[in-house]
A = this chain, B = another copy of it.
Amino acid sequence: MAVQSESFDVAVVGGGPIGLACAWRAQERGARVVVLDAGEPGAWHVAAGMLAPVSEAEFGEGDLLQLGLESARRYPAFCAGLEDPGLRSVGTLVVARDSDEAAALDRLAEFRRGLDLPVSRLRPSQARRLEPALAPTVRLALEIESDHSIDPRKLVAALARVVDVRRARVTGLRVAGERVTGVLTADGVVAAEQVVVAAGVDVARLDLPESARVPVRPVKGQVLRLRDPRGPGLVERTIRGEQAYFVPRGDGRYVLGATMEERGWDRMPTAGGVYELLRDMSEVVPGVFELEIEELLAGLRPATPDNVPAIGPGALDGLVWATGHFRNGILLAPVTADLVASVLNDEALPDWAAPANPQRFAGVAA
């Protein structure tokens, strides 16, 4: 690795989209930044990459919604600065299979309209004109043209081209008194004025002083990565059902996800998880059965007790958190990076970022 003899303004722990985006924004503001990553892809490698703040935030999660809306708004400009980040500006259909689900969709439509967000209510025949692969049994659909998607693997590759990423297994932080002075790795110390911890769920395994920790636990999500041997066109839009979503990449590839399972660090795909995803999506898009399975895999979402991430200064000087993004790591990358860059430059954060303050967890166990 050979960074021990160097010294940085900022060391970022974790080379997923959050860490890379934070590094990029910090670097743009003049800092000398290094990203340290163990080379084992995190949740982003599994993620579908939906940019859908409203449908991802549950009712009652207003704080998270606010962060999501801020980040979605920033996404086009964020991507404009990157080469081939995999942004796909095609909308989403949320579909209902029965009257209960249709009632839930009507509540979602009303909620979006209350936020002045565009949404169209489509009868089944209208929905099937847009997406002929939808099952005839679909009862109702909402078209949300502004809910786009991005390919997280392309995003990470694009970000990794603009920042300095080095292979290192981070084991903890170097602390002097109440101040972080660098990062401990398997190969030695990397000195840095400030440290951004963006290691996703792996923050739970870092050796940190108890007072400086944030409580993050893994929530397993299984996905199938599918491919249509006939090429693209089965569906153009992201299709969301009650239990599963189906995100087209535009090249005949699709991500079908995702389970939500509290199973510790287990990352094995299971027969039951795969079965349920296929069953639920095939009721909405029967053509999924014709697709080839390219990959079965599971990722670990970093969940906090209140589902809101931890973004901001930690309990030690020089420590900045950017973790706990749960289901929203891809969506929240731009806003997280902007907030972290502000913290690194000693600027006050906007009020809407207060719910993400990591210090709300002081004394809370994971």
- Residues on A lying within 8 angstroms of B by beta carbon are 224, 226-227, 229, 256, 266, 268-272, 274-275, 278-279, 282, 288-294, 296
Closest to A295 in B: B296
Smallest CB separation, A230 vs chain B (Å): 12
Does the CB pair A274–B278 fall under 8 Å? yes
Which residues of B are found within 8 Å of A288, using beta-carbon distances? Answer: 271-272
Q: Which chain B positions have C-beta within 8 A of A226?
A: 271
Q: CA of A190 to CA of B316 in the docked complex: distance in angstroms?
A: 73
Residue of B nearest to A281 (CB): B271
Are A279 and B275 in contact, with the CB atoms below 8 A? yes
A177 to chain B, nearest CB (A): 45
Partner of A293, one of B278, B279, B290, B296: B296
- In the complex, 21 of the A-B residue pairs with CB atoms within 8 angstroms, ordered by the A residue number, are A227-B268, A268-B292, A268-B294, A269-B292, A269-B293, A270-B289, A270-B290, A270-B291, A271-B282, A271-B289, A271-B291, A271-B292, A271-B293, A272-B290, A274-B274, A274-B278, A275-B278, A275-B282, A279-B279, A293-B296, A296-B296
A296 CA to B274 CA, complexed, in Å: 11
A235 CB to closest chain B CB (Å) equals 14
A270-B292, A271-B293, A279-B279 given; 4 more Cβ-contact pairs under 8 Å? A224-B271, A229-B266, A269-B293, A272-B290
Chain B nearest Cβ from A293, distance in angstroms: 5
| A274, B226: Cα distance in complex, Å | 12
- Give the residues in chain B near A292, CB-CB below 8 Å: 268-271
| Contact partners of A275 in chain B: CB under 8 A | 275, 278-279, 282, 289
Q: Once the chains are docked, how many angstroms separate the CA of A118 from the CA of B278?
A: 40
Instruction: Find chain B residues with CB under 8 A from A282 CB.
Output: 271, 275
A199 to chain B: closest CB distance in Å? 26
Most buried by B among A271, A278, A288, A289: A271
What distance in Å separates the Cβ of A269 from its nearest Cβ neighbour in chain B? Answer: 5
For A272, give the chain B residue with the smallest CB separation: B289
Contacts of A293 in B (CB 8 A): 268-271, 274, 296
Nearest Cβ on chain B to A255's Cβ, whole angstroms: 12
- Give the distance to chain B from A110, nearest Cβ to Cβ, in Å: 34
CB-based closest 7 A-B pairs: A272-B289, A268-B292, A275-B278, A269-B293, A271-B291, A271-B288, A271-B289
CB distance from A13 to the nearest CB of B (A): 30
Expressed in whole angstroms, the minimum distance between the Cβ of A31 and any Cβ of chain B is 44
When chains A and B are docked, how far (Å) is the Cα of A255 from the Cα of B103?
A: 42
Cβ–Cβ < 8 Å partners of A271 in chain B: 224, 226, 256, 278, 282, 288-293
A232 to chain B, nearest CB (A): 17
Complexed CA–CA distance, A224 and B271 (Å):
9
